[in-house]
Amino acid sequence: MTGTSRSAPTVPAVSTLAATAIVVADMIGIGVFTSLGFQVTDIPSGLTVLLLWLVGGVVALCGALCYAELATMFPRSSGEYNLLTRIYSPAIGFMAGWLSATVGFSAPVALAAMALGQYGKAVLPGAPPLLLGLAAIWIVSLVHLRGTRHSSAFQIGFTLLKLALIAAFIGVGLSRGGGQAISFSPASFDPAQIVSAGFAISLVFVMYAYSGWNAATYIVGEIADPPRSLPRALVVGTGIVVALSITLNAVFLYTTPVAELAGQVEVALIAGRHVFGEAGGRIVGGLICAGLIPTISAMMWIGPRVTVAMGEDVPLLRLFARTSQRGVPAAAILLQAGVATVLLFTQSFEAVLDFIQFGLLLCSFLTVIGLIKLRITRPELPRPFRAWGYPATPLIFLAVTLFMLVHLVTVRPLQSLAGLALMLAGLVLYGVATARERKTARLASPR
């Protein structure tokens, strides 16, 4: 097993702007447009709701800083697969890579495609949602099959469009809204709300909405000058999303009565009708559809890089390490697009998301613990970037992530155990692959 091998850098290299666009696009999915309805049922203060998104943003930023240090120490594309391999062992890395390569990215792609199809009905009433979702997956996949230059241009262009549309919605909402009963003044703030059960549960939804803050680490081997560019992409991208999320939720509260938002999933559509009138549903539906395209693109770009790295290290998966004449991992991209398509057709991806959340959180938890481990056991290792605020930054991230893991085990024990079982299946596959490799090596060695 060659767990420390390096991927050859792709030419042309990915710019800081493109890496930042991946972070922004991956973070702003559907969560920020749907979470508020569940938060206002337990949190009566507008200021506390915004503090909730700020706290979640601080935690995401702490995670981004920790990953920036580790990924610039070990600049190989593939995210946790590479990092956990280097920190602990190839077996632990393979376990995380197996989760990512199977459903870790395919399920969120399918979920985003299904959401695009549902919201697309507001723009194109006669279009079948399933067809719209399929078209999004495969058109984006074809773009990435053409090479890094096309991927970068597509990602940057659609992410900028996404940001422009969100900014326009915020601007119009602030100019037309107002007069709602909810207050953002400090006088309405009760510190006890921050330690309440409602705040804690809502924080779980916020952290899910912020997932993607580590996206650029999956392509660090393709980024030009990782020690400088990667931390900037992670920190700036996360900062942009946190600022937009806080402002966007403030606009939702500013323009729409809380009674209409409470318990609702389609928060953005409800607020859109208050901002734009009867045409609001179509306008916001188009905004969300346009925003989901770069989200799908980001995951279709970074997800296959995990499969590529695993194929480079494990002979059994060598097919997925092959690249086309343009340097594109075509087999890995087609595999992820195919799995996402199957999930889209079966419409079972929401159940899949339920049980992979535990595994994904556990991988992040182990990775950030690894930062502390290496600081103690390997202080001599070169660190082109050092996480700001250490040890506070990893401890904050670990505390919140541990809370989320405990919450998932308590609330969804079967799904959590299923996610753990999927990871253990990766360990079994690793054992089979390495046993086969050792047997082949013995047969090939001279007696």
List 223's β-bridge partners, or say none.
14
Q: What is the pLDDT of residue 196?
A: 75
The mean predicted confidence, pLDDT, of the chain is 89
Convert 206-215 to b/e letters by CB count within 10 Å (16 or more is b).
bbbbbbbbbb
Distance CA 367, CA 12 (A): 29
Among 222-236, 315-329, 339-353, 412-426, which stretch is predicted with the lowest mean pLDDT?
Answer: 339-353
pLDDT over 90, % of the chain: 59
Q: What is the pLDDT of residue 12?
A: 47
For the four alpha carbons of 327, 148, 329 and 313, in that order, the dihedral sign comes to positive
Q: What is the pLDDT of residues 256-296, one digit of tens each?
A: 888 888 888 888 988 998 888 878 888 898 999 999 999 99
Q: What is the pLDDT of residue 439?
A: 67
Among 22-26, 242-246, 317-321, which stretch is predicted with the lowest mean pLDDT?
Answer: 317-321
- pTM for the model: 0.91
Stretch 244-261: mean pLDDT, rounded?
Answer: 91
Task: Dig out the tokens for 304 from the structure.
Answer: 């296959």
CA 317 to chain centre: 25
- The DSSP call for residue 9 is P
At 268, the amino acid letter reads: A
Residue 14 near residue 148, CB atoms below 8 Å: yes
- For 17-166, where are the E strands, in sequence order? none
Q: What is the pLDDT of residue 442?
A: 64
Q: What is the pLDDT of residues 148-203, one digit of tens each?
A: 889 999 999 999 999 999 999 999 998 886 666 566 777 666 677 777 777 888 88
Residue 337 near residue 135, CB atoms below 8 Å: no
- Is pLDDT above 50 for 10? no
Stretch 367-376: mean pLDDT, rounded?
Answer: 98
- Cα angle 234, 236, 237; round to 5: 65
Q: What is the pLDDT of residue 7?
A: 43
Residue 144 near residue 219, CB atoms below 8 Å: no
Three-state SS annotation for 252-268: HHHHCCHHHHCCCCCHH
- Cβ within 8 Å of residue 22, ≥6 positions away: 155, 215, 216, 219, 233, 237, 298, 301, 302
Q: Which residue has better confidence, 349 or 327? A: 327
Q: What is the pLDDT of residues 53-111, one digit of tens each?
A: 999 999 999 999 999 999 999 999 999 999 999 999 999 999 999 999 999 999 999 99
Q: What is the pLDDT of residue 5?
A: 40
Give CATH for domain 16-441: 1.20.1740.10
- Cβ within 8 Å of residue 243, ≥6 positions away: none
Distance CA 93, CA 289 (A): 35
Distance CA 321, CA 305 (A): 9
- The DSSP call for residue 186 is G
Phi-psi domain of 146 (left: phi exceeds 0; alpha: psi -120 through 50; beta: other): alpha
Task: Dig out the tokens for 369 from the structure.
Answer: 């613990």
Distance CA 250, CA 271 (A): 11
Q: What is the pLDDT of residue 277?
A: 86
Residue 87 near residue 373, CB atoms below 8 Å: yes
Q: What is the pLDDT of residue 179?
A: 60
Task: Dig out the tokens for 392 from the structure.
Answer: 């506070």
Distance CA 210, CA 60 (A): 7
At how many degrees (to 10) do helices 46-73 and 392-411 cross? 110
pLDDT band for position 440 (50/70/90)? low
Q: Is 223 helix (H, G, I), strand (E, B) or coil?
A: strand
- Cα angle 109, 335, 153; round to 5: 60
